[in-house]
Every structure is written in C-alpha cells, then in structure tokens.
Structure 1
C-alpha cells in the first residue's frame, strides 16, 4: 500500500465488513495492515512520510475550500459592489446614525491556535481566493517558527493592519455615496463601520510571563506602527502636507521609546531614565489626535471632493483607532481583583467578599475614594497583578494615547462585588472615564447565576452612574470553558438567556438609553463557539436573533463584539482580498432584517428547555466520568503540537491527570484527534429520545433549531466512534500477545510480549471501549433524530472528508504501534542505569515523547570521547576489535531515532486532522 488510493480502496473494503461484524474496526485493521508492512520492511518511514504528505496536501486544500465557502465572493470589485447595495438609506440622519456606529467590534485575540506556519497560512489564504483548489498550497514547507509572545504580537499587528486597510475602502464607499446623495451635508459624516481591538500582550488571565513593561512596550510599538500608516496615508494625499512633520516626528519619537521599553528594566535608575523620557514634555510628544482630526476635517470642508474624501477617510481611521492599531483589552482573573481589594476592604481577612457586608463596604469605599496620582515607579514596585494592570492603564492613558478607551475584562466573575472592586480601582487611579469594566460569564456557576449578578449590579447607583459616564454597559461571554464544562450547545443556549437577562436588567435599572456592548469570545472551532456552516451562523450562533430582538424591543442600542482568535482567526485577514471579503460578509449579515422573537424554539419551552437541560446533563455526566477523563488524558498533550505562547496546562498543574488541568483549547484539540467532538455532539440524541418526533418538528420549524442541527451535522460529518475505539486497542494486552501468535511476525515476538506483559494491568483499553459504547448509544439516538429532519445540500462531501480523516488516523495508529514496539525493544542495558525501562515505556505509551527521548539519549550516548581524541604518549592495545564501540549508535538508529521521526509524523497528521476540522481546538 504505497499510495493514498491504495489506502482508500483498502479502507472502503474494510468498511464493508462492518455489515458482517458490527464490532469490526476498519480503522484499526488498516493500521494493523500498515504496521505489518512497516515492521516487515515492505514500507519504511520514508514511504509513510510520502503518504502523510499527500494527505496533508488534501487537508490544506480542504481548509482553503472551507475558507472560500465561508466568505466568497473574494473579488474586491464584487465585494465593493455588494457593500454599495447596503448603503440604501435615503434620509441623511438615518444614514449617519447607521454608519457612525460600528456594525461590529472585532477583537483579535491570541490564544494558542497558531496551527500552521506563516507560509502555510499565506498559501491557504491565496488558495482560498481561487476556490481552494490551488495546488501551490501543497508546495509550502511547514517550517514552524518559535511561537513567542513577540511572534503573536507581530501577527496580530499585521492582521489588524490589513483589516484597517479594508475598512478604509469601505469608508471611502460610504463617503462617496453620501457625497452623491447629500452634497450639502456629507462632510458632517464620520463613518465607523467597524472597530478593532486586541488583547495580545495585555491578557494576564492564566499567564505569568507578561510583565507590565511588556504591555507598555507593545502599546508604544502599536502607536509607532499606526503613526507610520497615518504618515503614509497623508503623504499619498499630499507629500508636502503641513501635518506630516508633526506625525513623522511623533512616529520616530514613539519608536525610540518602544525600543527603550523593550529591554529589561530591573534597575531603578534605568527605569527612571526611560520613564522620564516618556513622560517629559518632548516637542514630538503626541498623546491625542483630536487636534489633527479637527484640522483634517477643517481642511476637507474647503477642499475639492477627491481630496476631501481622502482626508475624511484618514480622519475616520484616526477616530476609530486612536494612537494605536486599535483599542486594547486588559484581562485579569476575579481572584486577582479580590486579592487586591482585600487590603482595603478587609485587611484582617475575616470578611466574605461575596457577602452583603462586603457590598456595603464597597459602596462606602466608592463614595469616598479620591483619584490618586501614579507614576512608573509605583507601577514597577507593585506586586499585585490587578493593581499593576490598573497602573499600566493609567500610564498608557496619560502618556501614550489619551483618546482610545481601554477594556478591563474580568475572568471568572461571579458576583457584583468583583465589578465594584474594579470600579473602585479605576476611580482610584483616575481612569474611570476611559476604562470599560466588563465581567466575563463563562463558568457554569457564572452562567447559572449571571442573571442575578446583572440584576444586582445594574441596580447599584455607583454602577449606573459609571455606565452613564462611559456611555455603555459592557459584558463578555465565553464559549471555551463554557463549551467544555457544559457542552457547546448548552453553553450557547445558556449564554443567549444571559444576554436576554442583560436587556431586562438594563431596563429595570433605568439604563435602556445606554448602549449594551456584548463581547462574545468564541474561538475558531465549533467546539469553542465558531459555527462552521456559514458566516451568518458564525455571527448569530453566539448572539442569536432572539437575544438581539430583546434589546431591540427594549430600544437598547446593541454593540456586538466578536473575537478572531490566533492564527486560525487571523486567516480571515491574511491578505487584503480576504480582509475586505470578511468585512463585507459581516456587514451583509448585520444589515439583514431580524425577527428572532417569533421563533418557536423560545415559545415551546416545554420542549426546548427540557432538550437543553438533558443535553447539559449528558455533557456533565461525561465531564464527571472517570472514563471520559481517563480517555482524554490517556495521551496527555502528546497528540497535539504546540500552537501558542500560553501554556496548555493551567499554572501549578503537574502531569495532565485532570481535565481541569488542561485548558479548553487543547482539550478540544484532543477530542478532534481522538476522532469525536464529544462536547459538540454528545447529548442531543439522548435528549431527543423520549419525544424525538416533537423535537424534530420543533427543530425543523425553528431558525435557531436549524442552526443547532447544522452544528450537529457538521460535527457528525467529522466524527468516528470506531476511531475512538481504535485508540483503546493500542493498550489491549491480548492484541499484543496475539499479534505474533501464528508465527507471521516472529521477529516482533519479544517486543509484542513485552508490551502484552506490561499492559496486563493497564486500564486504557476498557476506558476507550466504555467511552465508545456510551457515545454509540447516544449517537444511535441522534441518528434517529437526524433522519426525521430535512436534509440540507452538502457543500462538502461528508463521506469524502470522513474517509480522509480515517486514512490519517490509520497511519497515525500504525506509527504509534511502531513507536511502542521500538520502545519495548530498547536494549535493557545502558551507561546510565538510573532510569527504568518501564518508566520510558510508559512515557512513550502516554506520548510524552520528548521526555522519553531525553532519557533514552542520556542512557545511550553517541557523543562520547573516542581513543583518537587523546594525545597520550603511552601506547595501548585497548579497545580492540571485539570491544570497539558499544553499539549506542546502532541503538539510536534502530530504536531512538525511529521513535523521534514517527512522532514528528504523528504531529503532522494532527495538523492535517485539525485542518479538516477547520481550526485547532
């Protein structure tokens, strides 16, 4: 079997055998066929690499086709024409009201989803422009860079830069349309169709590797970058413009300061010198663009139309972004805020911060607090994370960009006292008027009790006054941990109910005249809230038409905000054409008429609410099940590659023995690799079982139900329970004991028996079998439900994709068997005898390959001194021919190097599988 066509034909034949024997596993059987050829010498790892490369190519093409399907058309002329059709208002005031408020806030975040190399992302993006069939996508070598925080910041800067250029094109169209319709009033227009933001370098939740100086340096770099683009735009309008020297001087001065803050600032005097340079009254110091925007607007009022439009486009960009590539989001954990406020509210540590007494005390603190001045010395000596963030925000607003507000996101916020504590510090450091405090609702507790939190918070006079001062109520909803701990479908439905509660709480709190900003921080995979069916579904899955209708009914202006996460999210903005197409698709969706209030999914709560609760219960049962936890952690993090600078395990975690030690992204990535996106699919079949026909009727009649079904179908099209079961067979002692039974693989007998003996007490075979059985029962019920629902035309042949993933999994299983056999046959002697062969074997079985290889290479060194390396004068006859060489080079070549190479191919397969899913994790 030397070609993918050979593998495909063999897998098809094996699949046919499942009709005879339901327990027969075609994926594992194909892996055994491949393993026999590898161990017998008919195939080597070079041959396997050729097969993997072919399947990698197909996966990349699938990724490009998916991207094209989501955002086509991609031709700039077609997208500009499509956008013009959205500019339909005939009344100037209505036109202005619509286009001077963002249709969407887009936040470019950087959780670890940098799956592909930059060259591969470029190739996929280029192929997406032509439909995804571009063969060039397969010619790019995957040379992965080190994914550092600096790398991520460079990537986000480039992505937002392309988004800003696309927005400029749309602003030009808006202004041209206004000029043609209202020649006497169009100059009053200041369009802001989109606003961009980032938290890369500012998100401290779950990280300890971002110093305060990192955030300051990044903000200065962003300022220098944006000033450079402003200079370029103005020079294009007029290379001798009077404002160019002002902007270019500020650019150069800021670039120098960014460089100064980039290094370590541990020495007090060095920090003092750098801080004084930033805060001094330098001639090139620029902290507000307001005078420059006013000058551009004034000039435009007296210029010819072409120059006026160009000036207005530049001014619009300045108003939207300020002195940076966009707005910025700081993020802390609620516990960090609690630690910070405790010293002021409860120095003795006796007060429960969730109590009414703490609430009363916080009200008193807020009423009495007076703004304090702060400087970089105060920032440098502060040890509390939350206080450092507020001090850093104060320095940014005072000395870098005084115009652009800053978001303060609070993770794991479960009580109003946490928000009031943040308000206290914002007021204490004099930034209350520029900081949007935004609680994050993502944990199961927060989603269950979030409505009561909002009711209490929005009833607080201090918060009401703050919201009016800021001009918005801001919240954040998260789909990562929520989708992991309660399941993706229950999470989405719980979040939309919380969004509905926000509209009600704002009305009760007398804040209906204040806009509501909802930041839905979904990821890029379906397991983290990114609906894969269409861009329309991507936008309305996290913020449904029903939830939006609640705000419209209350006459509350809604400001939707979504995330584009990591390399997978930045792919939508990887080149200028994609960036423009993405923004136009968003504009089309945001412009459509909505009527979510009449959806029967919300009126037939006797069905829909029970359906939701039943799915959540199944998901909860999985999460609490030792079987599920053991299966997901069976290979640790060894099935996935490193895709970001943030660690995949939570701080303080040792080996990943608990699901809660593994973050949401790698958790979902492991589910992809095991073959079944449990947190998306599981539970729907069981929930519908008792009233399957009634549920089917409801889902058919409901627009929200249709979204839910499309998500289930998409996930099911990529899922394979047989693959889940196949992984368990790797740990089956009986399999290894029986493999050489008939003498066909007698050379493998020592390795197979060593594995069989070691695995007699291993639980993983039973774990995977039990999990597969539970999934199969639920899936059979889901199959009954889906059979009752109208079929939608498949945009991607589902069986073709499933077959491609099956081939990848079979190759991986063969590689894992090769690794296990090599590890089991490593000779039992070594120069260093302080390690156990069983320890190393378990490392390999758990795919802790780097650890295993480090131990093996230490035990079997090849770089040891040779006799010829010495210039000793006394002659010697030893070592002689019989003793020359200890065989360690042969051990490396026969056992250690094959494990290393096989694992590298395993990780390439992991990337290919993720490409079929459309995103990592």
Structure 2
C-alpha cells in the first residue's frame, strides 16, 4: 500500500465487508493496517509523507476543477460574449436604469480562512484559470504568517483584480450603448458593482486592531487607488493635465499612510502624524467629484469614440470606489455600543436598554444632541471601543475621503435601542449623513425576534428620517453563527423570513421609496452559508427569489450585498481571468433580480409542511448543540485538527485562559465548521433533515420535488452527504477505546508494542471519548437512515450536483492515514521515559496534551524535560582545574530522535491532511 490507488482499492475492499458485519469500520481498519506498517518499519514517515503529497496534489486539483466549474467559462473572450448576450436592445431608459445602480455589492471580508500557502493559492488559481495541472512544487511553499497586514494585502489584491474586471464590463456596456443609442449613450453612468472590505476595520470579537491601523489602512488604500487612476488615465493620454494632480495626490496619501503605520502611542509622535494629515496641502485630495465631472465633460467633447469610452470607464470607477479600493465597513459588537451609550446617557446603570423607556430616552437624546468637533487627540484618549470607531470614521471622512459613505455593522444586535445608540453617536460627531448603520441578525434570539425588531425600529421617526437622508435601510444577515446555532437549513429559512419582514416593515412605514441594502455574510463552503452546487445557487441561497419578490411587489429597490471571505473567497478573484468570470456570472445571475409574476412556490404555500420541516430540523440541531455528547466530540481534539488560518483567534479572546475542556460557544463558527469537516460529517448541514421527514416521507418528498426552493435545499444536503461518513466519526472514538489497545498485541503479532499498548489501555480506561463518539455516531446514523429514506423518494441528483464516490473514498483514505498517525503519536508519547514533575506539569499532563492534539505544548514540555543542549565545561575560562565530568555528555539525543521528533513530524503530516480534506470539501469550514 504505497500509492493512493492502492489505498483506495484496499478501502473499497474493506467497505464490502460491512455487508457481512455492519459494525465493521473500514476506515479504522485501514488505519490499523497503516499503523502496523509504520510500527513494523515496513513504512517510514517519509514514505507516508510521499503518500500524503500525492493526495495533496489531487485535492488541490479537485479544488481548482470545482472553482473552474462554478465560474465557467473562464476565458476572457468567452465572458465578453456572455456579457454581450445579456445586454439586449430596446429602451435606453430601461437599459440605464439597469446599469446605473449596482447589480450587487461585493464585500471582501476576512476571518480565519487563509488555509492555503501562497504557493498553493497561486497553483489552484492558475489551474482554475487555464485548466492546467497543479504543479507539485507548490507543496514545498512555506505557510504565510497570517497577520492582519497580510489579510489586508490579500484583500486589496482581490479587489484590484475585481476592479479591473469591472472596468472591462463597464467598457463593454458603454460600447454596446454607443452602438445602440448613439445620441444618448453619453448619459449612461454604469455602476454594475461596488466593492467594500472590513479587513482592518472589524472590531467585533477582537482587541488587536488599533484605531491608527484602521486609519493607516484607509490611507494606504487611497494611495493604491489613486495610483490605479493615474495609470488608467496615463494609458488614455500620457500627457493628460489631471495627471499632474492625481500623481502627487497618490504620493501624499502614501506618505501619510507611512506616518500612521508606525507606533503612535507617544503623544508627540501622534501629534506629528495627525498635524501632517490635517494640515492644508495642495496635494491633499478629499473628493473626486470635480474629476468625475471633468472626465464626463471630456468624453462628451471628444470625437474619438474609443477615448470617450475609456474616459467614461475611468469616471465610472471613480464613482464606484471613491478615494479608496472600495468602501469600508467598520464593525462593533452590540455590547460595546451598550457600554458606550450608558456612559453617555446612563452613568448610574439604571436604564434597561431592552425597555421602551430606553428608546424614549435615546430618542430624546438624538433630537437634542449637537454635533461635536473632534480630532486625533480625542480619538487617542478615548477608551470606549464603540465611540473610538465613530471618532475614527469622523477623521477618515474629514481627512481621507469626504464622499464615500462608511458602513457601521453591529454584531449581536437584538434591540432597536442599539441602532438608536449608534445614530446618537453618528450625530454627535456630525457624520450621520455618511454612515449606514446596519444591524447584524445572526444569533438565535436575533433571528427569532428579528421581525418585531424591524417593525419597532422602522416605526421610530428618528430612524425613518435618518434612513431618508441616507436613501436606504441597511441590514446584515450572518450565516456563520446562525448556521452553527440553528443549522444551515433553518438559518437560511429564518433569514429568508426576516428579509420578507423587512420588505413588509418598509412598506408599512412609508419607506418603500428607499432602497433595501441586505448584506448576506457567508463563506465559500456549505458550512458557512454558501451553496456549493452552482454560482446561481450561491447567489440565490442567501437571498431567495421568494424574498426578492416581496421587495419587488412593494416597489422597493434591492441592493444585494454578498461576501467573499478570506483566502477561500479571494480565490474567486485570484487572477484577472477568474475575476472577470466571477463578475460575469454575477451579471447573468444578478441577486437583486426576480420575476415577480413567477408561479408561486408550493414550499411557501404548504406552510403546514414546510414550517414543521423547518422547526423539526432547528430543534434537532439545537439538541446537538446543547448535547454534552456532541460538544465533547467536537472539542475532543481541541483545535489541534486545524491549521492557524487567520489573524483573528479561533477561540474567543475572553476564553483563552479557560480549562482544556472547551464548550462549543468558546470556539468561533468557522473553526467549529472546520472541525466537523475534519471529523467527517457536516452535522450542521445534514443532521435533522431525515428526522424532520419522519412519519410524512411521501408528502414531504412531493413538496420538496415540486418546489424550486425545496430542490435547492436538497441539493445542499446531497452535496454535504456525498462527502460525509458516519464510520469516520466512529473511527475517531476508537482511538480512545481501551479495549482496542489492550487487544492489539493480544495475539502476539505486535509484541514490540505490548508495553506501549498496555500503558495506553490502562490510561484510557477512564477516558469518556470512546463512548462519546459511539453515541454521536449512533445518533447520526439513525438520522441518516431517515434521510436516505427521504432521498430515495426524490429524483436522483443531476450530473455535477454532487461529488462522486471517488472523492468520498479519497477523503476516507486521508482519514485513515491521519488515524494511523494519531496512533503513531500516542504510542510514542506513552513510550517516553517517565520524568519528574516540573512547573506543575506531569507526564500524564503531557500525554493528555498529545491526546487532545496540543502537540506544540506537549513537545515544549518534553524538550524541557529532555534537553539536548547544555553548557559545556569548555565554555568556561577558570583557573582552578577539575577532573569532573569524565568524558562527554551527549544529553538526550536518543529520546529526541526516537520520540519527540517523530511526534512533531507526524503532527506536521496531520495538518497537511487537514488542508487536503478541506480542499476536497471545497473550502475551510
């Protein structure tokens, strides 16, 4: 068994044995086969690494094929043809109405999803762009240090490719209009896409982003965008007079960005940087309005059609992005706002922010507040995170970009008073005309009571007046925590209902003439609220046609906003070809467009069935989340199954000092989803669907079959189920089965392991994880039987909707190799000679660290217990002679070689397997 083909063949043979012995576990048996090879010396770790490398290449290639399939065609010429096919002819006014507003806002978010090394990212992107094979050399590339600056740079590169692709689309639209309406086309101002980012501005759940970093990032973005504008204009006319202004303005912004990149904790240093930024300077540019007007006028005046299109394209980019790479989103937590408003209006802490009295109090404060001037000193000394964000926004609007509005996202927002508090601070600092305050609905409570929240908020006169000034009502719906707490299917259906309630609330409160901006934040994988089957599903899954029709029938213009998250999301824009293909597919499947006269979907008519279906899945998912069994299984290995994939910590910062036993609410949503992938079963997608159909299979199957939304639900479930394996979940529990270790050398086949196996058997007698995994696997299996019964009544999946059996088998092989490596580490950990307790760390503590994959900590303790580097007698220059020590002390090199270094090497392979499994799933978490 030295190749992937060999292992897949062996796993297939073992699977056939389950028909004879239902409890037989082929994944764990293959891991035992491999473990015996490793322990006998018939296979070395290097040979195991070669196997992993072979599968890594295949997993990267599979990911490239999947990405290419989602955005195909990829060739630029093919996408130009596809775009032209959507343009049509007819009425110019209708054409302009379609293209003068964004079809979609695209937000480049971050969070820990930077799974691939830079070399692997480039290899996948190149393969997806050109259908070329993945170069195995990419496996040798080192992992990046994923700092906030790294994430920001990656986001800016993705936006740069997206902006170039948008320019191509805008130029094509303008060319088409020029041909169709030669007397009117110059009145067209295409704005098909707006881009934004929260990387560097998202303060929810983290304390490591200083305000000066946010200002510095915004200045750097300004410098980068102005440089782009200069290059675009120089390509039109190398001697254009506006270049004499744009070039120096870019240089000025870059200089100021450098000022804010340093340590500004010293008041003197901050004073220098702030005074440079706030001082008058002929190179300081705060608005592009004059430049946009000049370019439009020049386009009208020039007889050169190509030049006119190029000038209009540049003006369109300026109109869309302003003085930055895109718009920016600040984000805070509702609790941070509550603390801030209490400090201002309720210093004694007597006000209940969930009460009507609080709303009356804040409403009065908003009506009475007078705008305050502020400066960077006020920002530097402010202790409240929320107030600091408003002060930072005020400085950015005053000294970086006066035109581009800023989004203020509020996480865990469950009370209308929270939004009014944000409005208070926006007005306090004189920026309420440039800030879009947006509540995030993601928690269980927010989703359950979101409709009442919106009814109450939109009934507030202060809010309605503010929304009219801004021209929109903005909300954010999140799929990460929602999908974790109530399951992905119930979360999507709950969010859909919430979106419908927004349409109703806007109509009821005479706000139907405003736009509804709905930011659907999700990720790339099925675990983070994105649909894996097609780009059409990806765009309609979070904002369904049912929800869209609610807005269309009320005459409300939708401004849909989607998220491309971190390393996974940026892959869609990793090359110019992929960026153009992605945006073209978004034009073809515009998420704000629907046919309001389409036939009614029975899923929304048969609420007696669909609501019960939703509630049953939600309740089933909730039982898992609250179950000690599920929690213990998911946290059995801590976060040791995962690579570090972002600058935002995977455990909530308030819990870093918590005990080794974690609760699910301590782990963030993306790592939680990623662990489910690694354990072999996307519980938060699949679980509960079979249970929800029980007792009503035929009628439920008919409803799902006849409903477009129902079919979409089933496509998601099938995609997840095609990669899932209950046997794999059970296999992880066998690692902690005392009886397994006691029995392994029982027949004398592995006598050299008898002492280690006996020690493991004795140590694990009291360990609960074997029983935990068995109980979880049993629950999942019962529900899966019901799911299979439901699926058997539905039409089979169409070609390409789900991955083939070969992908599931490849994942099974990876899981078996990993389980063999875990056994390898456990045997070596228990075989390390006993050492004395040091600094309250015992040998048993080290063993538990290994069993929970806290390998770095365990190795640090072992290296301390068995050092290999000592002071030498020859290091000293003493006059007095000594006869001791005799000979040379070599330390503990043998222990390092036999135990410590192999454990480290095995864990490195484990983490490579993690990446390969995620690639076969299509994303991290």
Q: So what's the TM-score if we normalise by structure 2?
A: 0.98
* Pairwise CA distance, 1:4: 1.6
Using the alignment, how far apart are the partners of 2:139 and 2:766 within structure 1?
45
Matches within 5 A, 1:377-776: 377-590=377-590, 593-594=594-595, 598-653=600-655, 654=658, 655=660, 657-776=662-781
SS of residue in 2 equivalent to 1:474: strand
Using the alignment, how far apart are the partners of 1:743 and 1:322 within structure 2?
75
Contact in 2 for aligned 1:830/1:860 (Cα 8 Å):
no
Using the alignment, how far apart are the partners of 1:530 and 1:421 within structure 2?
32
* Pairwise CA distance, 1:797: 4.6
1:330 paired to 2:330: yes
Contact in 2 for aligned 1:100/1:189 (Cα 8 Å):
yes
1:920 paired to 2:924: yes
Using the alignment, how far apart are the partners of 1:386 and 1:159 within structure 2?
29
Contact in 2 for aligned 1:123/1:140 (Cα 8 Å):
no
Using the alignment, how far apart are the partners of 1:540 and 1:18 within structure 2?
40
Residue number in structure 1 paired with 2:820: 814
Using the alignment, how far apart are the partners of 2:384 and 2:838 within structure 1?
45
Question: Against the structure 1 CA distance between its residues 597 and 266, is the aligned structure 2 distance closer, same or farther, given a 3 Å change threshold?
Answer: farther
Residue number in structure 2 paired with 1:74: 74
SS of residue in 2 equivalent to 1:755: helix
1:891 paired to 2:892: no
Contact in 2 for aligned 1:549/1:597 (Cα 8 Å):
no
Question: Against the structure 1 CA distance between its residues 89 and 206, is the aligned structure 2 distance closer, same or farther, given a 3 Å change threshold?
Answer: farther
* Pairwise CA distance, 1:798: 2.0
SS of residue in 1 equivalent to 2:311: helix
* Pairwise CA distance, 1:742: 1.2
* Pairwise CA distance, 1:577: 0.2
Residue number in structure 2 paired with 1:261: 260
Greater displacement, 514-523 / 653-662: 653-662
Please give the per-residue CA displacement for 1:1-28, whole angstroms capped at 9, x wherever unaligned. 2122221111111111100000000000
What is the aligned residue count? 918
Using the alignment, how far apart are the partners of 1:239 and 1:365 within structure 2?
54
Using the alignment, how far apart are the partners of 2:835 and 2:564 within structure 1?
52
SS of residue in 2 equivalent to 1:86: helix
SS of residue in 1 equivalent to 2:252: helix
Using the alignment, how far apart are the partners of 1:92 and 1:529 within structure 2?
37
Residue number in structure 1 paired with 2:858: 852
Matches within 5 A, 1:163-202: 163-202=162-201
Using the alignment, how far apart are the partners of 2:661 and 2:135 within structure 1?
39
List 4+ stretches of structure 1 deviating above 6 A. none
Question: Against the structure 1 CA distance between its residues 874 and 662, is the aligned structure 2 distance closer, same or farther, given a 3 Å change threshold?
Answer: same
Contact in 1 for aligned 2:549/2:594 (Cα 8 Å):
no
1:240 paired to 2:246: no
Residue number in structure 2 paired with 1:225: 224
Uncovered stretches (5+) of structure 1, i.e. residues with no partner = none
* Pairwise CA distance, 1:834: 5.1
* Pairwise CA distance, 1:347: 1.4
Contact in 2 for aligned 1:55/1:912 (Cα 8 Å):
yes
Contact in 2 for aligned 1:120/1:141 (Cα 8 Å):
no
1:43 paired to 2:48: no
* Pairwise CA distance, 1:88: 1.4
SS of residue in 2 equivalent to 1:645: coil
Using the alignment, how far apart are the partners of 2:339 and 2:913 within structure 1?
44
Cα RMSD, aligned residues only = 1.3
Contact in 1 for aligned 2:490/2:618 (Cα 8 Å):
yes
Using the alignment, how far apart are the partners of 1:25 and 1:902 within structure 2?
23
Contact in 1 for aligned 2:868/2:890 (Cα 8 Å):
no
SS of residue in 1 equivalent to 2:108: strand
Using the alignment, how far apart are the partners of 2:920 and 2:698 within structure 1?
32
Please give the per-residue CA displacement for 1:268-291, whole angstroms capped at 9, x wherever unaligned. 122111111111111101000001
Matches within 5 A, 1:62-211: 62-131=62-131, 134-136=133-135, 139-211=138-210
Residue number in structure 2 paired with 1:27: 27
* Pairwise CA distance, 1:44: 1.0
* Pairwise CA distance, 1:873: 5.6
Residue number in structure 2 paired with 1:901: 905
* Pairwise CA distance, 1:919: 0.5
* Pairwise CA distance, 1:751: 1.0
Please give the per-residue CA displacement for 1:385-442, whole angstroms capped at 9, x wherever unaligned. 0000000000000110011100000000001100001011111111011000000000
Using the alignment, how far apart are the partners of 1:6 and 1:94 within structure 2?
61
Question: Against the structure 1 CA distance between its residues 543 and 369, is the aligned structure 2 distance closer, same or farther, given a 3 Å change threshold?
Answer: same
Using the alignment, how far apart are the partners of 1:74 and 1:866 within structure 2?
64
Uncovered stretches (5+) of structure 2, i.e. residues with no partner = none
Residue number in structure 1 paired with 2:345: 345
Residue number in structure 2 paired with 1:312: 312
SS of residue in 1 equivalent to 2:209: coil
Contact in 2 for aligned 1:124/1:137 (Cα 8 Å):
no
Using the alignment, how far apart are the partners of 2:661 and 2:519 within structure 1?
31
1:277 paired to 2:237: no
Contact in 1 for aligned 2:120/2:138 (Cα 8 Å):
no
Using the alignment, how far apart are the partners of 1:833 and 1:389 within structure 2?
43
* Pairwise CA distance, 1:875: 5.2
Using the alignment, how far apart are the partners of 2:877 and 2:909 within structure 1?
44
* Pairwise CA distance, 1:879: 3.6
Please give the per-residue CA displacement for 1:183-239, whole angstroms capped at 9, x wherever unaligned. 111111110000000000000000100000000000000000000000000000111
Greater displacement, 158-167 / 870-879: 870-879
SS of residue in 1 equivalent to 2:30: helix
